[in-house]
A and B are shown apart, each in its own frame.
Chain A
Amino acid sequence: MAWVNAIIQGILTGGLYALFACGLSLMFGVMKVVNLAHGDLAVIGAYVALGVITVTHIPALWSFVIVVPIMAVLGYALQRTLIQAALDRGVLITLLVTFGLSVVIESGLLQFINADSHSLGVGESIITGSFSIGSQIQIPYLLLLIFAVAVVVLLGLQYFLSLSRYGRMIRAVADDQEAAQLSGIDYRHVFGIAAAIAFGTVALAGIAYGMYSQFSPTTGTDTILLFAFAAVVIGGLGSLWGTLLGGIVLGVAQQIGAQINQADQVLAGYIVFLLVLALRPQGLTARRAQS
């Protein structure tokens, strides 16, 4: 029964990891940017949420209404300035620039806030509560909620990309920027839109993590970015549903690892990550026509 519990917990945690990963996957899929500041931006989202909750006293769950638009605007602005400038100089430069951004964010948070850990919505029953199935399986409401949010976000993204006008433009630009220009599309604006969406999901990831665990200025690189990378690689680059699968595999591996030995939780996740890299580097989901 403990094993069943571990697997259920793992699957649900996978929703959180998928939320970490989908922004990273989207930015890579559309503009070939590997955003090394991804985790730190999620932490910024969490800090913004903390500020919003402190000032307005709204329930932590609803902070996303304010934080997601703020991060989306930040995403558009960063893409149109810093990241586009880097892209114009070559894809490798974006690695340096986003790495630099990551360092700046982390140092900035340490300098201007502090190194303390925070979490969001402590004491709100939906965030800390759980329900039981039988005697062994305990399911936190929050994990279930995060998993549902991840599925809704992925469904929404899928729907948006395949059916909306902007989604079509995003896919066209991802296929061929120059041909898109010849159709009158300003690919830099479309990149900005894609970044705004990615940053919106990053904000959700940051808030979710802030409620699930504790965050500090270094959480972005030492947890969120690494787990996001692992989920993306396991699932398959550029595939949205792959990120959910990747997140679930990572989550289950971690929980099973923890079941064997509490200290091996994170290690088990990375072992699966390395195995996938070695044996199936394209990821678990078969790569469909390059998206």
Chain B
Amino acid sequence: MSERADNGSTPLLEVRDLTVHHGQLRALDRVSLRVFPGEVYAIIGANGAGKSTLLRTIAGLHRPTDGAILYDGKDMTKIRPERRATGGIVMVPEGRRLFGSLTVEENLKVGATYARKGPWTIERVYEIFAWMKDRRTQRTAQLSGGEQQAVAIGRALVANPRVLLLDELSLGLAPVIVQRIYAMLPQILATGLTVLLVEQDVSQALRVASHIQCLLEGHTTLEGRPSEVTAEQVEAAYFGLGQAAAEGSEALWHGSTPSSRAS
């Protein structure tokens, strides 16, 4: 993490010791992260590791029991989700969550309702997803899963976010579709966006990310650049196997406290 901070920039998004409960269950336990401008930051981890909870809490859909979320240096922890969205933190939710009774274009228009100023317009979205314009008057229920995911991404982009949160883009989609969607990422990043994504598909995450962080049962078990971590470390961090083996690479561990790794 230190070498990222060395370039002098301040994190665009910072999460400090975030703890989130779902009822009695502690979904996140003092998770921290720092996302710098222009990064593709990937959160990986198994089902139930707390990845989506982390993203949803950053978007404002869950209230943390403890910890803070800073955006551009300002504390956002108590800000309502819609204010975060208009402020530039926009999420593509898990399962796409399109407005089913609205057409493709209406979905995009809703996304653009309170858009910030920026490069993204509905026309621009039609440019990168060429099929979309011809089918703009269709209801989104008539689209395939991959097409729906594209509309969901478009709906987020037209808001002109500074930080784009992508929650499990690959969920329920064929691998070839997933590849096609991730292939769009460079075009999206070229407009100056910062991306924080959650992904179960580790190889996909390692391919696109400039920084990864692995969660296991609500704790951070590994973080670093994809080039710096070995497949064994990722595997150990992902499944929580061989804690001892991972212990050897202490420099890569940024789980906030030793005790947070203990479980």
Contacts and interface: CB of A to CB of B under 8 A. Distances in A.
Interface in B5-30: none
Contacts of B99: 171-172, 175-176, 179-180
A184 B100 contact: no
Nearest to B91: A182
Interface residues of B, number: 31
A65 interface: no
Nearest to B85: A184
A95 interface: no
Contacts of A187: 82
B102 A181 contact: no
B101 A290 contact: yes
A165 interface: yes
Contact of B114 (A185, A288, A290): A185
Contacts of B82: 180-187
Contact of A179 (B83, B98, B101): B98
Contacts of B81: 178, 181-182
B113 A169 contact: yes
Given A171-B101, A172-B102, A178-B93, A183 B155 contact: yes
A182 B100 contact: no
B97 A165 contact: no
Contacts of A182: 59, 61, 81-82, 85, 90-91, 93, 97, 156
Given A169-B110, A184-B159, A185-B82, A289 B93 contact: no
Contacts of A172: 99, 102, 106-107, 110
A289 B110 CA distance: 18
A138 interface: no
Contacts of B156: 182
A289 B101 CA distance: 6
A15 to B, nearest CB: 27
Nearest to B139: A289
Interface in B118-138: none
A168 B93 contact: no
A203 to B, nearest CB: 28
Nearest to A289: B101
A265 interface: no
B86 interface: yes
Contacts of A180: 82, 99, 110
Contacts of A179: 93, 97-99
The interface centre, meaning the residue of B80, B83, B97 with most chain A CB atoms within 10 A of its CB, is B97
Contact of A168 (B86, B110, B115): B110
A183 B111 contact: yes
A181 B101 CA distance: 17
Nearest to B115: A184
A215 to B, nearest CB: 37
Nearest to B112: A183
Contacts of A165: 109, 113
A185 B115 CA distance: 11
B141 to A, nearest CB: 6
Contacts of B60: 181
A169 B101 CA distance: 12
B85 to A, nearest CB: 4
Interface in A160-175: 165, 168-169, 171-172, 174-175
B101 A183 contact: no
A291 interface: yes
A185 B113 contact: yes
6 contacts: A172-B110, A174-B101, A175-B102, A182-B59, A182-B97, A184-B86
The 6 lowest CB-CB distance pairs between A and B, nearest first, are A184-B114, A184-B85, A179-B97, A184-B86, A175-B99, A181-B81
